[in-house]
Amino acid sequence: FVIGDSQMSAFTDNLGSIGTYFANINEFVLPLNDYHEFYLFWWFAWSIMIGQFTSRFVGGLKTYQVLAAMLIFPSIPIAIWFSVLYHYHEAGIPTQGIKNFAMVFVGIVFVINSLDSLVRLYTDNLNFTVKRFGKMKYIVGNIVALSLLTLLFKLEFLQIQWVGALVIGLFFICAAFIGYSKFKTVTNIDSSPKANEIDYTKIDTVH
pTM over 0.85: no
pLDDT of residue 130: 80
Q: Where are the beta strands (DSSP E) in the chain?
A: none
pLDDT greater than 60 at residue 203: no
DSSP letter string over 107-149? HHHHHHHHHHHHHHHHHHHTT--HHHH-HHHHHHHHHHHHHHH
- Percentage of the chain modeled with pLDDT above 70: 81
Query: What letter represents residue 2's amino acid?
Result: V
pLDDT tens, position by position, 97-108: 787 888 888 888
Mean residue pLDDT across the chain = 75
Query: What letter represents residue 99's amino acid?
Result: K
| Residue 156 DSSP code | G
pLDDT of residue 191: 60
Tell me the backbone φ, ψ of residue 200, rounded to 5 degrees: -70, -15
Number of residues that this document lists for the chain: 207
Find the Cα–Cα–Cα–Cα dihedral 7, 10, 15, 19, rounded to 10°.
Answer: 170
pLDDT greater than 80 at residue 109: yes
Q: Higher model confidence: residue 32 or residue 137?
A: 137
Alpha-carbon dihedral sign for residues 40, 42, 47, 50: negative
Region 105-131: mean pLDDT is: 80
Ranges of each domain in the chain: 8-205
Contact 113, 53 (CB under 8 A): no
pLDDT tens, position by position, 77-97: 888 887 877 777 777 777 777
Query: What letter represents residue 122's amino acid?
Result: Y
